[in-house]
Structure 1
Amino acid sequence: MHHHSTDEPCFTYFPPAVLRPTELPAYSRGGGARTIPLVTRTAGAEIFLTGQTLFDGGAGIALHTHNCPESVTILEGDAIVEIDGTEHHVTRFDTTYVPAGVPHRFRNASATEPMRILWIYASVDATRTLVETGITARVDAEHDKAARSNG
C-alpha cells in the first residue's frame, strides 16, 4: 500500500471541469428515467461519482442497493422515495442519505410533471444491485455500455 505523507494529497491532479447537463448525453434507465453522468472517472474523479436522473411523469426505477453510501437531492418536481420498506414524499431540495446495502428506489410522484434528482455516490466504483434479480453492475459501466450502444 502506498504511504502518503501528511501534506501529500491522497489523489492525483485532474483538470477542473464545468459540466453542463444540457450539453451531455442522457442514457435511458428504462421506464421513463434517463441518467446524465456528471463527475465520473472520465472527468478525472477518483473519490466520488455524481450525476442526475430525469423522470418523466409516472416514471420510476426498480428497488436496488449500492456498495457505498448515496445521497440524493431533488432538483425539480416531487418524488416518492422508498427506503428500506418505508415511503417518504420528498420535494425540491429535500435530500436523502442511504447507507450501503439498504434497498431504495425513487419514483415520480406526478403522472404529468417531470422530476429530476442529483445523486452522489461515496465511491467512484459504486455498483447497483437490483433487489429482484440480484444482478450487480457498476454505475459508470451502465453509462459506458449505453454510450457504446448509442454511439
Structure 2
Amino acid sequence: MRDHATHAPCFASFPPAVLRPAELTAFSRSGGARTIPLVTRAHGAEVFLTGQTLFDGGAAIPLHTHNCPESVTILEGDAIVEIDGTEHRVTRFDTTYVPAGTTHRFRNASTTEPMRILWVYASVDATRTVVETGVTTRVDEEHGATADENR
C-alpha cells in the first residue's frame, strides 16, 4: 500500500449518488440489447464507468475489444460469453474479467427470457472497437444515439 501524504481520495469530485436503473433511460445497442449508463462522466466520474446492458431473448453484441480492463457480472438470466475465442456459459452473479485488448462478446443463452449484465470499465476513457468493422468509439459516447424508454 502506498503512503499518500494528502490522503485525498482519487474520486473527490464525484458527488454521492443513488442511481436507479428503472428510472433511467436505456439506449439501444441494436440487435435487441439496450444499455443503461450508471456511473459516468455525466455524474462526475473520473476513474471508472459502470452501467447495465439488457438483452432480449436471443440478443447478442458483436465481438469487440476495449482499451482498458472490463469486468461484467450477470444480474439476471443466462449468457454465453466468448473470451479470446473460448465460449463460457455464465449465470446469475457469475463475473468475468477481460484484460484490455482481449476480444470478447456476450449473448443471451435464452431465446425467450431476458438477460441483464452489470459492466465496469477501469477507465472513464474506455473505448470499444468492433472486430468486424474496426470502428472504435468511446463507451460514454455510445449513449444517446438512439434512446428507448427502459422497459
The normalised TM-score by structure 1 is: 0.91
> How far 1:145 sits from its partner (Å)?
3.5
Corresponding residue for 2:92? 92
The residue type paired with residue 50 of structure 1 is T
The percentage of aligned residue pairs carrying the same residue is: 81
Structure 1 spans left out of the alignment, 5+ residues = none
Corresponding residue for 1:20? 20
Corresponding residue for 2:131? 131
The residue type paired with residue 111 of structure 2 is A
Corresponding residue for 2:36? 36
* Cα separation, 1, equivalents of 2:60 and 2:19: 25
Equivalences for 1:2-151 in 2 at 5 Å?
5-146=5-146
* Cα separation, 1, equivalents of 2:14 and 2:27: 25
Pick closer, same or farther for the CA change 1:38–1:83 going to 2, 3 Å: same
Residues 11-52 of structure 1: per-residue CA shift (max 9 Å, x gap):
432320000000000000000000000000011110000000
* Cα separation, 2, equivalents of 1:115 and 1:13: 33
The DSSP-based 3-state class of the residue aligned with 1:143 is: coil
* Cα separation, 2, equivalents of 1:92 and 1:10: 31
Larger helix percent: 1
Structure 2 spans left out of the alignment, 5+ residues = none
Segments ≥4 residues shifted beyond 3 Å: 8-12, 144-147
What root-mean-square deviation, in Å, do the aligned CA atoms of Structure 1 and Structure 2 show? 1.7
The normalised TM-score by structure 2 is: 0.91
